[in-house]
Amino acid sequence: MKVLLAVVAAKVVACGFGLRASDEGARLGYLASRLDEGSLPGLAPGPPFDGEWLLVEHSFSIAAATNLAFRHPDQAPLRRAEVKRWVASMLKDDVRAFDRSKWREDALTSLDGPHGHVGYLGHLAWALGASCLIGNGEHALAQPVARALRRRFDASPTALLETYPAETYVPDNVVAIAGLSLLDRCRGESTSRKTITRFLDVMRRERLDPKTGVLVFAPGQPGRGSGAGWMAYFLTFIDEDFARAQSSALFREFGVELPFGGFAIREWPRDVDRGGDVDSGPLVFGLSPAATGFALASAAYFSNDERLQQLLVPAEVIGTSIGLTQRRYLLAPLVGDAIVLATRTATPWPANEHVSLPNGL
């Protein structure tokens, strides 16, 4: 036991050093090499999760690049080019395949149809909004996708859309609403405001877990750490007050103080003993790698530096960083590297005051 504690302590010290010497550029370099070479998705489970991971790897890498562009304006031209490439990759057939196999129709060729496709279209709308805000101009698909999502949200009696047939997940819907918000912000307009306001009103009224106060993962299901952390992050692009309230509930109801100054997030409330799944990752004493990774965004965005450092401790202890010019976690899938970089660098995104329309990418 003493040897184990010594190893953990040494890794915590190394983690603290790594956080002082910023390695964000090297981590994004690793993501860029994987995305640009097409060596994806990396340690993913079987269908449809391999396709979901492929999509999420792109969207969170776009988030990380956009964060770094706004944090370091001198990097903006390079980050703008990366985002442009990765948005183009999200339109490729292999990235759309998982959604098409479930719906038996293609999300982009059925924009006039009634079906949700909110998993794929939500991330696409969000990425198109990020690309526009970072200065790439508005993509030719941005407004067709936004119109399709608005029409479907407005027609839904529950204010929710299906990810797959008969499968509705609140986190996917929050991403789509964040996409509508970003596209409005980039244009300097409020075309989607009515849709967004209705969605938020219904979520506050009908989709809060009465036990924990976080948004539920799906209708009829309780709140859980991974979903709550994910939604608290994407809510920052929609409603900062709601995002702050969800972040507070997440830390209060699911947070756990760890030895050596660490902090982690449980997947389930403290009195619930359930196993992990593909969304949470393998649980260790109830602690969720996914929930802890997503929670980084709440700490970073709201400038809680102490909590951010605490949350990064288990990431380093479990994941083990390697590499210099291309830095990554040895024991994490590619999607984990993308999520952690995007969330640990989360920052407010300003509105784009100079929009060029359109460029079609």
pLDDT tens digits for 43-95?
Answer: 667 777 889 999 999 999 999 999 999 999 999 999 999 999 999 999 999 99
Q: What pLDDT was estimated at residue 131?
A: 97
Q: Which helix (H) or strand (E) holds 195?
A: helix 193-206
CA angle 101, 113, 136 (to 5 degrees): 80
Q: Please, are residues 278 and 289 in contact by the beta-carbon 8 Å criterion?
A: no
**How far apart (Å, rounded) are the C-alpha atoms in residues 237 and 59?**
14
Phi, psi values for residue 315, rounded to 5°: -60, -40
Q: Is the peptide bond before 41 cis (omega within 30 degrees of 0)?
A: yes
**Nearest-CA neighbor of 236 among 348, 68, 129?**
348
- Helix-helix angle 118-131:170-187, to 10 degrees: 30
Q: What pLDDT was estimated at residue 355?
A: 38
Q: What pLDDT was estimated at residue 39?
A: 67
3-state secondary structure 286-299: CECHHHHHHHHHHH
pTM of this structure? 0.91
**How far apart (Å, rounded) are the C-alpha atoms in residues 164 and 169?**
9
Q: What pLDDT was estimated at residue 352?
A: 62
Measured from the Cβ of residue 54, the count of other Cβ atoms closer than 10 Å reads 24
| Strand residues in 118-225 grouped as ranges (E) | none
How many residues does the structure list for the chain?
Answer: 361
Q: Is the peptide bond before 269 cis (omega within 30 degrees of 0)?
A: no
Which residues are CB-neighbours of 34 under 8 A, at least 6 positions away? 40, 42, 57, 334
Q: What pLDDT was estimated at residue 43?
A: 60
Q: What pLDDT was estimated at residue 2?
A: 29
Q: Please, are residues 293 and 336 in contact by the beta-carbon 8 Å criterion?
A: yes
**How far apart (Å, rounded) are the C-alpha atoms in residues 242 and 250?**
12
- Mean pLDDT for back-to-back runs of 10 residues, the chain (361 residues): 31 39 88 86 72 94 97 95 97 95 98 97 98 96 98 98 98 98 96 98 98 97 96 98 98 93 93 81 87 96 95 85 86 89 96 45 36
Residue spans per domain, the chain:
40-207
Helix then strand then coil, in percent of the chain rounded to 5, is 60, 5, 35
CA angle 193, 142, 137 (to 5 degrees): 105
**How far apart (Å, rounded) are the C-alpha atoms in residues 261 and 24?**
22
Phi, psi values for residue 283, rounded to 5°: -90, 140
Q: Please, are residues 302 and 244 in contact by the beta-carbon 8 Å criterion?
A: yes
Question: 125: which 2 tokens?
Answer: 């709308």
